[in-house]
Amino acid sequence: MKIGKPAISAAGPKAVYHAMEKAFHAMKVSKTFKILGALNQKGGMDCPGCAWPDPAHRSKLGEYCENGVKAIAEEAIDANADADFFTKNSILEMRGKSDFWLGQQGRLTQPMWIRKGESHYSPVDWNTVFETIGNKLKSLPTPDDAIFYTSGRTSNEAAFLYQLFVRIFGTNNLPDCSNMCHESSGVALNHTLGIGKGSVKLEDFYQSELILIFGQNPGTNHPRMLTALKKAKENGAKIVVVNPLKEAGLMSFQDPQSVLGILGIGAPLADLYLQIRINEDVALVQAVAKKLLERSEKDPSVIDSDFILSNTDGFETYQKALNTLELESLISRTGLKTQEIEEFVNLVTDRKKIIACWAMGLTQHVNAVDNIQEIVNLLLLKGSIGKPGAGTCPVRGHSNVQGDRTMGIWERPSKEFLDTLASTFNFEPPRKHGVDVVGAIEIMHQQPEKVFMSMGGNLLSAAPDTSFTTIALENCAMTIHVSTKLNRSHLHPGEIGFILPCLGRTDIIQEKSGIQKLTVENSMGMVHSTQGNQVARSEYLLSEPHIISQIASRTLGNQIIEWDSLIDNYDNIRDLIGKSVKGFESFNERIKENSILELPNGPREGKFTNDIGKARFTVNSLPDYQMEANELLMMTIRSHDQFNTTIYGMDDRYRGIYGIRTVVLMNKSDIENLKLDVNLPLTLSSHYEDKIRKVEGLTIVPYDIPSGCIATYFPECNELVPIHLKARKSYTPASKSVKVKVSQP
Ligand SMILES: Nc1nc2c(c(=O)[nH]1)N[C@H]1C(S)=C(S)[C@@H](COP(=O)(O)OP(=O)(O)OC[C@H]3O[C@@H](n4cnc5c(=O)[nH]c(N)nc54)[C@H](O)[C@@H]3O)O[C@H]1N2
Ligand SMILES: Nc1nc2c(c(=O)[nH]1)N[C@H]1C(S)=C(S)[C@@H](COP(=O)(O)OP(=O)(O)OC[C@H]3O[C@@H](n4cnc5c(=O)[nH]c(N)nc54)[C@H](O)[C@@H]3O)O[C@H]1N2
Ligand SMILES: [Mo]
């Protein structure tokens, strides 16, 4: 373990070095270059890293980032966790290993199962897999006794087939990783603007005058966004960052595609960096709006009254509510200086083309929906939606998480979507809403004997309240994980547990008609194809659509859908998508030319597609925690060396933390006031009505973070997030604002 100084600039030659070091450690050199040469190139493969869009002109030097290379190394790793590996390692032994170790064992190569009383997984043939799952599903008292989870790497084709199968089977139990991620954005944006997605395109960044970045760490999680920010700045944009931590990637960017960047010279990014207290974003934006409205009394051009009058609803109520708030108390909540807020207001006052970006720093709080709605209020005041260079930009996480939703992976589908499925496929889909992630875990916990199927992902480590979720999984009659890599969820099977290995983004998919393409949708609503270039490493690997079709055919037969022949050619699947999902008409023809499908987006064109046909101003409440004097507010965040629950390494280079993940980033004044010894292990405990949750053996890292706030890593501290602590309306676990107490032996 080593603690050094946090970095003040991201990317550059060091990033290239670290990326290649990881890649060459995991894979042969020739394989590395073959994959990287196709990564994010037209007709090549979509990076499994994040959902940031590709620019129109792709760099020949390489259109990927350090963490994209790490994602590739993780998936295309030469090592295999094969049948032999499972013979040598019991699940009890594997539970004692770290997440990093689990990932290093390599790709899954053969279907495995484990039955009650057994200590080891053993190989099973695909036919037995499909028969056993089909028979189990058919035998359930009701289809709602099965839960079908999806993670966001799943392709459009797989996602579409999966939801269709699940709905013909008879349930809307389709929770997904979005429930823990941007659900709050979807709820807020649907209500206020009429579409649960962002409104900007990549080109808007190049025309914007002001870019606001709330609760996001793009230097680690969306590194290619830094290129867009740099270009925006070159074109004159200003950048305001709102974040409790000084994240290196938001301060300066060493562009590895430029001479200066290669020399390690960074281009400054943030013009104003507001180190806000955790979850005081509503207070900040309300303070800014109050000041703007005050200024607009003298100079009406400060806000866009024409836009407000003709395109929005609820302005007066909003203004009245703002008037009841006291500016001083709003400012004091944020922990920021009046001068800093004044500078923010100055930047907003003179500019009309504003983009607001955000990620998990806003979406994972009890009042997460309020956070986003308040930002929409600010954009509406400025008329900054539906014109070039302006709009909303929720920066998505998983590379196809947005596409999965477009394809119907959602426990609360719209009536319109179900009606179209009903008329296209001639069956009556279930109308009752299904369970989301938290709902699923709660019913699996309360009622044993459920079937849990996971299309990718790692529910156990991604979900809150780890011990609670462990019991939920172990309670199941059957757990089915379609996965590329070994993970902790596999180690807590139900009475029967399956691990079904599948082909990943980097692999070639062969079906009867030949090599198949898949498609994905990026964070800005653009759909394009993706095709791997690695020959399958084992004869047992099947694609996700293939596995779904076989489970469907054994469960439902081939009456409504010809599942067995459908997958001979994935054009067949895209034909079905074209018939039943808006915006995908003539899908096959359009995707064949390697062209990009731009999905319909009302707000992008200034059309608000919610129930009232106008953008809504909303009145949002401030968080109310009732903190005790010795309590701190904890956010669980990602290190630079992980992709969600997949741990690439033990370092968090930009934050100066090496060789350890069980850390607590804490302000020096809190360390002093709470009389803590940085040399002793720390215990964190969260005290909510139902019980006290604890994580022991943590290490204090004195850090530049507002006092009263601490940061820990996800998934190590998920244990502390109570299952019932979730956002209003979106039900997203509030894993960025958990009240905790500290203690030392
Ligand atoms: N390399 C890599 N890339 C990834 C991922 C990964 O794990 N690794 N994960 C992918 C996924 S699924 C997602 S959703 C995204 C996640 O991308 P991010 O949202 O950037 O990820 P987090 O680490 O959760 O970072 C949250 C940021 O919000 C700040 N923050 C926390 N609380 C608050 C708050 O109350 N207010 C404000 N203003 N800021 C706050 C934190 O300091 C941190 O900088 O990245 C995607 N890309
Ligand atoms: N405390 C806390 N908890 C969080 C968060 C947080 O910030 N704090 N973030 C939340 C967020 S934003 C998200 S999105 C969730 C993530 O939740 P998940 O999406 O469930 O988790 P991942 O870690 O992304 O899933 C990793 C697993 O996916 C499998 N996999 C990888 N690629 C493929 C593929 O191509 N096909 C298939 N079938 N499997 C594949 C591998 O087996 C790997 O082990 O976690 C959430 N949990
Ligand atoms: Mo996410």
Q: CB of 720 closer than 6 A to ligand 2? A: no
Q: CB of 502 closer than 6 A to ligand 2? A: yes
Report the CATH fold assignment for 183-390: Dimethylsulfoxide Reductase; domain 2 (3.40.228)
Residues 359/216, Cβ–Cβ less than 8 Å: yes
pLDDT per residue as tens digits for the range 248-270? 999 989 988 887 878 888 889 99
Q: CB of 238 closer than 6 A to ligand 2? A: no
Q: Has residue 240 got a pLDDT over 90?
A: yes
Q: Which of 34-43, 137-146, 297-306 has the least mean pLDDT? A: 34-43
- Span 637-641, average pLDDT: 97
Residues 150/159, Cβ–Cβ less than 8 Å: yes
Report the CATH fold assignment for 80-180+400-590: Rossmann fold (3.40.50)
Place of tokens 């084992």: 538
Distance CA 508, CA 547 (A): 16
Distance 398 CA to ligand 2 centre (A): 8
Question: Which pLDDT band, with edges at 50, 70 and 90, does 64 fall under?
Answer: confident
Q: Has residue 594 got a pLDDT over 70?
A: no
- Span 433-457, average pLDDT: 97
For a pLDDT cut of 70, what percent of the chain falls above it? 100
Q: Has residue 61 got a pLDDT over 80?
A: no
Ramachandran angles phi, psi of 199, nearest 5°: -110, -5
Nearest atom (ligand 2) to Cα of 646: 23
Distance CA 535, CA 131 (A): 28
pLDDT per residue as tens digits for the range 165-208? 999 999 999 999 999 999 999 999 999 999 999 999 999 999 99
Q: Has residue 60 got a pLDDT over 80?
A: no
User: How many secondary structure helices (H) and strands (E) does the chain include?
Assistant: 31, 33
Q: What is the pLDDT of residue 679?
A: 97
Pocket test for ligand 1, best of 360, 365, 636 (most atoms within 8 A of CB): 360
Say how many C-beta atoms besides its own lie within 10 A of residue 563's C-beta.
23
Is the overall model pTM greater than 0.75, yes or no? yes
Q: What is the pLDDT of residue 94?
A: 98
Fold agreement between 183-390 and 631-743: no
Q: Has residue 713 got a pLDDT over 90?
A: yes
CA end-to-end distance (rounded Å), the chain: 21
Pocket test for ligand 1, best of 72, 182, 221 (most atoms within 8 A of CB): 221
Instruction: Sketch the domain layout of the chain as residue ranges.
Output: 11-76, 80-180+400-590, 183-390, 631-743
Dihedral over Cα of 7, 13, 16, 22: its sign: negative
- Span 621-629, average pLDDT: 91
Q: CB of 456 closer than 6 A to ligand 2? A: yes
Nearest to 252 by CA among 12, 8, 5: 8
Distance 214 CA to ligand 1 centre (A): 10
The secondary structure of the chain in percent helix, strand, coil, rounded to multiples of 5, reads 40, 20, 40
Distance 50 CA to ligand 3 centre (A): 9
Q: CB of 392 closer than 6 A to ligand 2? A: no
Distance CA 329, CA 282 (A): 12
Distance CA 288, CA 282 (A): 10
Q: Has residue 604 got a pLDDT over 70?
A: yes
Distance 495 CA to ligand 1 centre (A): 35
Nearest atom (ligand 2) to Cα of 482: 38
Question: Which pLDDT band, with edges at 50, 70 and 90, does 39 fall under?
Answer: confident
Place of tokens 């009254």: 305
- Span 637-666, average pLDDT: 96
Average pLDDT for the chain? 95
Q: Has residue 377 got a pLDDT over 80?
A: yes
Q: CB of 501 closer than 6 A to ligand 2? A: no
**Number of the ligand closest to the Cα of 152:** 2
- Span 695-702, average pLDDT: 98
Q: What is the pLDDT of residue 57?
A: 78
Pocket test for ligand 1, best of 18, 46, 47, 50 (most atoms within 8 A of CB): 50
Q: What is the pLDDT of residue 12?
A: 86
Q: What is the pLDDT of residue 295?
A: 97
Distance 37 CA to ligand 3 centre (A): 27
DSSP-assigned beta bridge partners for residue 212: 240, 356
Q: CB of 544 closer than 6 A to ligand 2? A: yes
The string of DSSP codes covering 348-360 is HHT---EEEEE-H
pLDDT per residue as tens digits for the range 459-481? 999 999 999 999 999 999 999 99
Dihedral over Cα of 48, 638, 193, 383: its sign: negative
- Span 432-453, average pLDDT: 97
Q: Whose CA is nearest to atom 37 of ligand 2?
A: 456
Pocket test for ligand 1, best of 638, 667, 704, 705 (most atoms within 8 A of CB): 638
Assign domain 631-743 to its CATH architecture: Beta Barrel (2.40)
Between 593 and 467, where is the model more confident?
Answer: 467
Q: CB of 398 closer than 6 A to ligand 2? A: yes
